[in-house]
Amino acid sequence: MPYLDQLQELARREKLAELGGGEERIAKQHAAGKLTARERIGLLLDPGSFVEMDKFVTHRCTDFEMSDQKFLGDGVVTGYGTIGGRSVAVFSQDFTVFGGSLSSAHASKICKVMDMALKTGMPVIGLNDSGGARIQEGVESLGGYAEIFWRNTQASGVIPQISVILGPCAGGAVYSPAITDFIFMVDQSSYMFVTGPDVIKTVTHEEVTKEALGGAEAHMEKSGVAHFMAPSEKACLQSVRKLMSFLPSNNLDSAPMVSSMGEGNGDPTDRDCLKISKTLPDSSAKPYDMRDLIRDVVDDGEYFEVQPGYAANIVVGFARMGGMSVGVIGNQPAHLAGCLDINASTKAARFVRFCDAFGIPLVTFVDVPGFLPGTKQEHGGIIKHGAKLLYAYAEATVPKLAVITRKAYGGAYDVMSSKHVRADLNFAYPSAEIAVMGPEGAINILYRKELVDAEKKGKVAEERARLADHYRQTFANPYKAAELGYIDEVIAPEETRRRLIRGLRVLQTKREKGPNRKHGNIPL
Ligand code: HXC
Complete DSSP assignment for 127-162: EE---SB-GGGTHHHHHHHHHHHHHHHHHTTTS-EE
- Lowest-confidence region among 343-347, 460-464, 499-503: 460-464
With 0-12 CB in 10 A as exposed, 13-18 as middle and 19+ as buried, what is 418?
Answer: buried
Same domain, 234 and 205: yes
Residue 258 located in a structural domain: no
Mutation pick for ligand 1 pocket among 76, 135, 151, 211 (CB with most ligand atoms within 8 Å): 135
Same domain, 197 and 306: no
Report how far ligand 1's centroid is from the alpha carbon of 101 (Å). Answer: 6
Structural domains of the chain, count: 3
| Backbone angles phi and psi of 458, in degrees to 5 | 70, 25
Same domain, 23 and 114: yes
Atom of ligand 1 nearest to the CA of 28: 26
When pLDDT is averaged across residues 166-182 and rounded to a whole number, the result is: 94
Cα 335 to Cα 282: distance, rounded to the nearest angstrom: 18
| Backbone angles phi and psi of 523, in degrees to 5 | -65, 100
Atom of ligand 1 nearest to the CA of 21: 48
Same domain, 426 and 443: no
Report how far ligand 1's centroid is from the alpha carbon of 133 (Å). Answer: 8
Residue 517 located in a structural domain: no
Residue 515 located in a structural domain: no
Q: Tell me what pLDDT residue 1 has.
A: 87
Q: How is residue 301 annotated by DSSP?
A: G
Q: How far is CA 399 from CA 176, 356, 496, in A?
A: 30, 9, 16
Same domain, 458 and 326: no
Amino acid 391 reads Y
- Lowest-confidence region among 61-70, 75-84, 140-149, 182-191: 61-70
Same domain, 329 and 228: no
Same domain, 502 and 470: no
Q: What is the pTM of this model?
A: 0.95
Residues contacting ligand 1 via CB (< 6 Å): 25, 98-99, 101, 131-135, 142, 145, 168, 170-173
Same domain, 44 and 190: yes
Same domain, 321 and 234: no
Same domain, 429 and 446: no
Can you state the angle between helices 448-456 and 439-446, rounded to 10 degrees? 80
> Is the pLDDT at 191 greater than 80, yes or no?
yes
Instruction: Report which protein residue has its CA nearest ligand 1's atom 35.
Output: 131
50 backbone φψ class: left, alpha, beta (φ>0; ψ -120 to 50): beta
Check if the beta carbon of residue 399 is closer than 8 Å to that of residue 510.
yes
For residue 193, the domain's CATH number is 3.90.226.10
Q: Please report which residue ranges of 53-103 form alpha helices under DSSP H.
A: none
As annotated, the active-site residues are 171-172, 411-412
Check if the beta carbon of residue 148 is closer than 8 Å to that of residue 156.
no
Atom of ligand 1 nearest to the CA of 130: 32
Instruction: Report which protein residue has its CA nearest ligand 1's atom 44.
Output: 171
| Backbone angles phi and psi of 171, in degrees to 5 | 65, -150
Cα 84 to Cα 258: distance, rounded to the nearest angstrom: 12
Can you state the angle between helices 439-446 and 460-474, rounded to 10 degrees? 110
Instruction: Report which protein residue has its CA nearest ligand 1's atom 33.
Output: 131
Same domain, 165 and 292: no
Report how far ligand 1's centroid is from the alpha carbon of 95 (Å). Answer: 9
Residue 140 located in a structural domain: yes
Residue-number span of the structural domain to which 147 is assigned: 3-244
pLDDT tens-digit series, residues 248-281: 999 999 999 987 654 445 899 999 999 999 999 9
Amino acid 138 reads G
Report how far ligand 1's centroid is from the alpha carbon of 174 (Å). Answer: 14
Mean pLDDT is highest, among 62-66, 69-73, 194-198, 422-426, for 422-426
Mutation pick for ligand 1 pocket among 30, 64, 98, 192 (CB with most ligand atoms within 8 Å): 98
Atom of ligand 1 nearest to the CA of 168: 32
Cα 181 to Cα 152: distance, rounded to the nearest angstrom: 10
Report how far ligand 1's centroid is from the alpha carbon of 239 (Å). Answer: 28
CB neighbours of 309 closer than 8 A, spacing ≥ 6? Answer: 217, 220, 221, 229
Report how far ligand 1's centroid is from the alpha carbon of 102 (Å). Answer: 10
Report how far ligand 1's centroid is from the alpha carbon of 132 (Å). Answer: 6
Atom of ligand 1 nearest to the CA of 134: 9
Instruction: Report which protein residue has its CA nearest ligand 1's atom 25.
Output: 99
Instruction: Report which protein residue has its CA nearest ligand 1's atom 45.
Output: 98
Q: Tell me what pLDDT residue 519 has.
A: 95
Same domain, 461 and 383: no
Burial 56-89 (b: 16+ CB within 10 A, else e): ebbbebeeeebeeeebbbbbbbbbbbbbeebbbb
Q: How many CB atoms lie within 10 A of CB 362?
A: 24
Task: Tell me whether strands 304-306 and 314-321 are parallel, antiparallel or unpaired.
Answer: antiparallel
Looking at every residue in the chain, the average pLDDT score rounds to 95
In 322-387, at which residue ranges do the beta strands (DSSP E only) sit? 324-331, 362-368
pLDDT tens-digit series, residues 404-430: 999 999 999 999 999 999 999 999 999
Instruction: Report which protein residue has its CA nearest ligand 1's atom 41.
Output: 132
Instruction: Report which protein residue has its CA nearest ligand 1's atom 54.
Output: 172
Q: How is residue 372 annotated by DSSP?
A: P
